[in-house]
């Protein structure tokens, strides 16, 4: 069990480059199953979620060659459509494999997916969409089996713009007969990235980034080379890291438009952020309370940045209110932040944060990926030593967050043995 030990109080400075997006690579890996040629993906983050997805693909018969941040896949030897339960449970994104496997092999059997404990995460929208494309679905003893002869194009209205359901149905529709129209879809940049990747392989998908995506079924897909878009959540986390330590950091390889909601709230909170075409400079300042952070589907404020902004607002002058509208129960970081001296209370789906002058180092536990990142951020400026347990959650989505922060001058170490006297 690895832990982070952080001595708070160092102002961060310097330059950091952001890697490719976790939420792009996971569906893109699933989409590569649809190809009959070799696929190469560049700027792949070396995070544990990617490793789990690759383990699943390997079990399905895919050949994989992963060197540094470049990944080659050959799915021509795809041999089975049954995903091992142990791997399926490790990551919610394994659900994306349903669409491509149904498209390519006409059947799939999966167990209910796992993932971070951030509230109930049903898959009803995925299944409703697949059923409307002619898929027969049987849910039994914790497993979902689905089969279809040929999928047929359909018009599907999502009750909620679910990111995963949008991506799964886009992929299922690639080999469906005729046109599929998906209404009220998610508009996240990673969905546009998936569309671009699919079209490079020869698919006919349009509309990603708007409310309606149309897919015209094709007979086969070729190989392709694709560079992932940068990870906007890692970029947002690093902006907060600079702000919370009153530092000055340049963040390179970003797409500023993808971060507009985050940048705008962080400016309101007192950070100085200067945008360039593919980078930005952030400088700390006096943190002010912000009473209107509300998580929403893109282009709203991302739920994946909610814990991190809460860490920052813990230090604000005044009261802040953060409402979580996307996931129920995504407040597991609050207990841990309060152990460090934050003053946060919860009323239904809102957190009320009474800013304090200082947090104090404490022994805390990362309850999930982004909550873990928030604790690291809090520890960077807390007085004394913070010990963070369960950092494997953080490694799911950040490629060595400890090394990134060390590069900017943070005093953070990864340790293996239990640390006493903290
Ligand atoms: C994706 C992201 C995750 C992000 C989330 C919301 C990836 C790999 N993960 O997760 O980082 O936090 O989007 O931006 O891209 N829902 C249903 N039924 C369904 C599907 C979803 O009710 O069939 C609900 C969920 O319970 C949740 C909401 O819709 O309350 C959003 O979920 P969704 O957009 O599907 O998130 P994920 O794709 O799991």
CATH assignment at residue 189: 3.65.10.10
Question: Can you tell me the distance from the alpha carbon of 422 to that of 5, in angstroms, rounded to the nearest whole number?
Answer: 9
Residue 396 reports pLDDT greater than 70: yes
Point out the domain boundary residue: 182, 197, 227.
227
Tokens found for residue 116: 């971070």
What is the per-residue pLDDT across 331-368, written as a single tens digit (0 to 9) for each? 999 999 999 999 999 999 999 999 999 999 999 999 99
Q: Taking the complete model, does pTM exceed 0.85, yes or no?
A: yes
Domain membership of residue 42 (yes or no) is: yes
| pLDDT band (50, 70, 90) for residue 119 | low
What is the per-residue pLDDT across 5-15, written as a single tens digit (0 to 9) for each? 999 999 999 99
66 lies in which domain range?
22-227
Residue 420 reports pLDDT greater than 70: no
Residues in the chain: 422
Number of helices and strands in the chain (H, E): 14, 23
CA atoms within 13 A on the CB side of 187: 14
Residues 213 and 278 in one domain: no
DSSP string computed for 249-301? EEEES--GGGGHHHHHHHHHTT-EEEE-SSEEEEE----B--S-EEB-STTSB
For all residues of the chain together, what is the average pLDDT?
Answer: 94
| pLDDT band (50, 70, 90) for residue 114 | low
Point out the domain boundary residue: 208, 227, 246.
227
- Cβ–Cβ < 8 Å for 301, 262: yes
Q: In percent, how much of the chain has pLDDT > 70?
A: 96
In what side-by-side order are the strands of the sheet with 204-206? Answer: 155-157, 179-183, 212-216, 204-206
Domain membership of residue 422 (yes or no) is: no
Residues 357 and 221 in one domain: no
Residues 212 and 320 in one domain: no
Residues 356 and 376 in one domain: yes
Residues 249 and 221 in one domain: no
Residues 80 and 209 in one domain: yes
Residue 116 reports pLDDT greater than 50: no
Residue 422 reports pLDDT greater than 60: no
Count of domains for the chain:
2
Residues 256 and 360 in one domain: yes
* pLDDT given at position 158: 98
- Cβ–Cβ < 8 Å for 325, 296: yes
Quick check: CB of 112 below 6 Å from ligand 1?
Answer: no
Residues 96 and 162 in one domain: yes
| Distance in Å, CA 101 to ligand 1 centroid | 20
* pLDDT given at position 1: 84
Point out the domain boundary residue: 180, 198, 227.
227
Residues 176 and 113 in one domain: yes
| Distance in Å, CA 270 to ligand 1 centroid | 30
Helix (H) or strand (E) holding 321: strand 319-323
Residue 378 reports pLDDT greater than 50: yes
What is the per-residue pLDDT across 253-272, written as a single tens digit (0 to 9) for each? 999 999 999 999 999 999 99
Domain membership of residue 216 (yes or no) is: yes
Residues 372 and 290 in one domain: yes
Domain membership of residue 421 (yes or no) is: no
Average pLDDT over residues 83-107: 84
- Residue closest via CA to ligand 1's atom 22 equals 122
- Cβ–Cβ < 8 Å for 74, 62: yes
| Distance in Å, CA 327 to ligand 1 centroid | 8
Residues 115 and 244 in one domain: no
Residue 250 reports pLDDT greater than 90: yes
Domain membership of residue 55 (yes or no) is: yes
Average pLDDT over residues 151-178: 97
Domain membership of residue 312 (yes or no) is: yes
- Residue closest via CA to ligand 1's atom 13 equals 163
Question: Can you tell me the distance from the alpha carbon of 263 to that of 257, in angstroms, rounded to the nearest whole number?
Answer: 9
Residues 244 and 193 in one domain: no
What residues pair up with 65 in beta bridges, in sequence order? 72
* pLDDT given at position 339: 98
- Residue closest via CA to ligand 1's atom 11 equals 304
Backbone angles phi, psi at 394, to 5 degrees: -70, -35
Q: Which residues are catalytic?
A: 116
Least confident range from 81-90, 176-185, 236-245: namely: 81-90
Can you tell me which atom of ligand 1 is nearest the CA of 27?
8
Quick check: CB of 79 below 6 Å from ligand 1?
Answer: no
């Amino acid at each position: 069990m690895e832990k982070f030990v952080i001595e708070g109080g160092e102002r961060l400075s310097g330059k950091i480059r952001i890697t490719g997006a976790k939420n792009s690579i996971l569906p893109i890996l699933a989409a590569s199953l649809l190809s009959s040629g070799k696929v190469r993906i560049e700027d792949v983050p070396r995070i544990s979620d990617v490793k789990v997805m690759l383990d699943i693909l390997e079990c399905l018969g895919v050949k994989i060659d992963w060197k540094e941040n470049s990944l080659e896949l050959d799915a021509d030897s795809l041999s089975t459509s049954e995903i091992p339960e142990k791997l399926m449970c490790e990551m919610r994104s394994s659900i994306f494999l349903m669409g491509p496997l149904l498209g390519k092999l006409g059947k799939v059997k999966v167990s209910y997916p796992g993932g971070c404990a951030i509230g109930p995460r049903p898959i009803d929208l995925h299944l409703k969409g697949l059923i409307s494309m002619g898929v027969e679905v049987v849910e039994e003893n914790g497993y979902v089996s689905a089969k279809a002869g040929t999928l047929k194009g359909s018009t599907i209205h999502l009750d909620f713009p679910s990111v995963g359901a949008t991506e799964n149905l886009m992929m299922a529709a690639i080999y469906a007969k005729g046109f599929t129209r998906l209404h009220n879809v998610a508009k996240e940049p990673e969905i546009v990235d998936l569309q671009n990747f699919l079209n490079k392989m020869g698919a006919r998908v349009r509309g990603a980034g708007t409310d309606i995506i149309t897919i015209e079924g094709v007979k086969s897909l070729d190989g392709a080379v694709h560079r992932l878009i940068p990870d906007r959540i890692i970029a947002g986390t690093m902006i907060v890291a600079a702000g919370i330590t009153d530092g000055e950091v340049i963040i390179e390889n970003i797409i500023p438009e993808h971060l507009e909601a985050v940048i705008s709230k962080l400016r309101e909170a007192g950070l100085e952020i200067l945008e360039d075409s593919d980078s930005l400079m952030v400088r700390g300042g006096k943190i002010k309370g912000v009473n209107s952070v509300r998580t929403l589907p893109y282009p709203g404020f991302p739920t994946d940045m909610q814990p991190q902004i809460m860490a920052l607002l813990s230090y604000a002058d005044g009261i802040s209110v953060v409402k979580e509208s996307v996931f129920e129960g995504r407040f597991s970081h609050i207990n841990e932040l309060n152990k460090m001296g934050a003053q946060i209370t919860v009323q239904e789906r809102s957190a009320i944060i009474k800013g304090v002058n200082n947090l104090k180092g404490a022994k805390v536990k990362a309850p999930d990926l982004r909550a873990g990142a928030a604790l690291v951020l809090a520890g960077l400026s807390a007085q004394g030593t913070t010990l963070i347990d369960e950092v494997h959650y953080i490694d799911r989505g950040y490629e060595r967050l400890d090394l990134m922060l060390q590069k900017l001058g943070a005093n953070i170490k990864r340790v293996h043995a239990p640390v006493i006297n903290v």
